[in-house]
A and B are shown apart, each in its own frame.
Chain A
Amino acid sequence: MVKPIRKYGMIIIACYIFFAAMILLLGGEHYPLIPTAGVFGGILAVLILYLVLLIIGEKKGKKMLSLEFIHALKKYRFLIEQLVSRDFKTKYKRSVLGILWSFLNPLMTMGIQYIVFSRLIGKGAARGTGLEYYAAYLLAGIVLYNGFLDCSNQAMHAITGNASLVTKVYVPKYIYPVSKVLSVSINTVLTMIPLLIVTMINGVRPSLYWLLLPIPLFLVLLFAVGMGLFLSSILVFFRDIEFLWGVFCSLWMYATPIIYGIDMLPDWVQPLEFLNPMYYYITILRDVVIYHTFPEPLFLLAAFLMGVFMMIVGSLVFKDTQDQFILYL
């Protein structure tokens, strides 16, 4: 067991170093270089120390919470792979275009919205309002928002949709929403391809900043898993939450600057966007892909914290209610 821990630990640390380096390199002008590098170095030291502790604990057979989590992950990895692969195989099984729909869907939505709104918004937008690359601007919002919408809807039905399994076999119940979120995330990553293509068509050149693409994706994923855990457990007890959620998401879409620019909102409304998690994720995505500017560090922090908060809430609700699921399925 030590070898896999070492292997994955090294991969995580390597990713961390990569992104920390990118952030330092590209975001240099936002904050003093040396102290920030120091902070990143400090975090790195903590990570390495934690990895060493895990390996020691594993060798000695100590009971650590994270080790139990890692063991569970290893034990159920095959099951998660099977569930995700099932989702993918059945998603477009009986349709003609199959997986192409993953690309066509957001493109068609964007196309319609572009045609309808570009006269009002996109055209004649002066440089600096951020709307000059309107097609890309739209698509970025659509792709990320739809990704999150899909995630939350699929995850919400993860428990009730697998009721026959939950009542007959023992599998840790969080596997169901987590594997659904994973399936949808893979799909969302695929939709990034048309986004990058459209951005280039719009006249933006590829840049080093595109390497930061995983960051907004990871942040949304964090948030989506928490939300998925939360919704899937609530749905078991209150079936009408799915309708409420649908309405809520519609409102949410209009409340987020997907179609319009934030400057179009009245002055007193604009600060309210800071309460909107999707605003952060979409802005970070647009900064990275379209505007080639480094996302505001506070944005990154706020987005991360919101994701962590949602994870905590979702996990707690799920953990406390999961023993009751079987009585209501």
Chain B
Amino acid sequence: MSEQADKNLNPSSATGATGREMIVVDHVGMKFKMTEDRVFSIKEFMMQAAKGKLTFNEFWALRDVSFTVEKGDVMGIIGRNGAGKSTILKIISGIVKPTQGSVTKHGEVVPMLELGSGFDYDLSGRENVFLNGAILGYTKEFLYAKYDEILAFSELGDFINMPIRNYSSGMLMRLAFSIATVVEPEILIVDEILSVGDEAFQRKSHARMMELMQGGTTVLFVSHNLDQIREMCNKVVWLEGGYVKMAGPSEEVCDAYNI
């Protein structure tokens, strides 16, 4: 049963491009070198080379991972800690280059791997909206057009003009979340999105996430919360030890994972 399900997601057995693929992960492998002692300076490098200790242990974080995400899919990625979930997300986002294999994307990817990337604490909230927005890849016109919406969602009011070093951690989270979710991406990658803020804001952000994920956006969603996965995803990939243990419709995989 799982093999059949696997075929749905494996690009090499697809009968041909359906034209609906958004992300094609093709036999991706990721190898990390583990040194006994991290070599960070020239002196250490020379010394360890001289001692012959410059051998590396290899660690394969991912091995022969292949799956296809089609337009409109909400694909969950589950697995134990260290199974390789964050690594595959980074590879798909383009942050890390895979040692083997390739990833083809047919749309603009917006990663939500961490909130508030690039926040500078000396600048005001407003200035950070533009800085963070630029880092996430938004255009100037988009940010100007959406600024009021971001401000309203964050509920920060006049505080937006204060330097963010004076913000509480809740306020920071709200600002970061508002900037990140004003996006209208083709492909959204979400890594265990944190619950931010108080009750009211949590509900608001959950609603916004649902809106994004069910609005026809293609989504890759990593979570440990199986209920959330069942609720939101139509397909699931189960990674274990760097391999694809199982892949298919979310009900099947979630049931198998529970056992």
Residues in chain A within 8 A of chain B (CB atoms):
78-79, 81-83, 86, 89-90, 93-94, 162, 164-171, 237-241, 244, 323, 326-328
Among B42, B90, B97, the residue within 8 A (CB) of A238 is B42
- What B residues does A244 contact at CB under 8 A? 42
**B41 A169 Cβ-Cβ under 8 A:** no
**B95 A94 Cβ-Cβ under 8 A:** no
The answer to whether B130 has its CB under 8 Å from any CB of chain A is yes
**B40 A239 Cβ-Cβ under 8 A:** yes
Stretch at the interface among B8-16, B63-71, B74-82, B113-121: B113-121
Among A93, A167, A239, the residue within 8 A (CB) of B122 is A93
Closest Cβ of chain B to A98, distance in Å, is: 13
**A82 B42 Cβ-Cβ under 8 A:** no
Closest Cβ of chain B to A231, distance in Å, is: 14
Interface 0/1 of B23-54, CB less than 8 Å to A: 00000000011000000111101000000000
Q: How many A-B residue pairs have CB under 8 A?
A: 71
Closest Cβ of chain A to B193, distance in Å, is: 14
**A171 B135 Cβ-Cβ under 8 A:** yes
Among A82, A86, A169, the residue within 8 A (CB) of B111 is A169
User: Is the interface on chain B under 10, 10 to 19, 20 to 34, or 35 or more residues?
Assistant: 20 to 34
- Bound-complex Cα distance A138 to B90 (A): 51
Closest Cβ of chain B to A143, distance in Å, is: 27
- What A residues does B40 contact at CB under 8 A? 237-239, 328
The answer to whether B140 has its CB under 8 Å from any CB of chain A is yes
CB-nearest residue of chain A relative to B41? A240
- Bound-complex Cα distance A94 to B95 (A): 34
Residue among A78, A166, A168, A239 with max Cβ neighbours from chain B (10 Å): A168
Closest Cβ of chain A to B15, distance in Å, is: 30
Residue among B90, B127, B137 with max Cβ neighbours from chain A (10 Å): B137
Identify 22 residue pairs between A and B in the complex whose beta-carbon atoms are under 8 Å apart, listed by A's number: A78-B134, A78-B140, A79-B134, A81-B134, A82-B134, A86-B127, A86-B131, A89-B127, A90-B120, A90-B123, A168-B95, A168-B117, A169-B95, A169-B137, A170-B93, A170-B94, A171-B135, A238-B41, A238-B45, A240-B41, A240-B43, A326-B90
When A90-B123, A93-B122, A327-B32 are in contact, do A170 and B95 touch as well, CB less than 8 Å? yes
- Bound-complex Cα distance A93 to B130 (A): 18
The answer to whether B136 has its CB under 8 Å from any CB of chain A is yes
- Bound-complex Cα distance A255 to B259 (A): 72
Closest Cβ of chain B to A64, distance in Å, is: 22
- What A residues does B162 contact at CB under 8 A? none
- What B residues does A78 contact at CB under 8 A? 134, 139-140
- In addition to A240-B43, A244-B42, 17 A-B residue pairs with Cβ atoms within 8 Å of each other are A81-B134, A82-B131, A83-B134, A86-B123, A86-B127, A89-B122, A90-B122, A94-B122, A164-B117, A164-B118, A168-B114, A169-B117, A169-B118, A170-B93, A238-B42, A240-B41, A328-B40
CB-nearest residue of chain B relative to A94? B122
The answer to whether B256 has its CB under 8 Å from any CB of chain A is no
- What A residues does B114 contact at CB under 8 A? 168
- What B residues does A166 contact at CB under 8 A? 95
- Bound-complex Cα distance A309 to B30 (A): 35
**A165 B95 Cβ-Cβ under 8 A:** no
The answer to whether B96 has its CB under 8 Å from any CB of chain A is yes
- What B residues does A237 contact at CB under 8 A? 40
- What A residues does B123 contact at CB under 8 A? 86, 89-90
Top 10 nearest A-B pairs (CB, nearest first) are: A170-B94, A82-B134, A240-B41, A79-B134, A323-B97, A90-B122, A78-B140, A168-B114, A93-B122, A238-B42
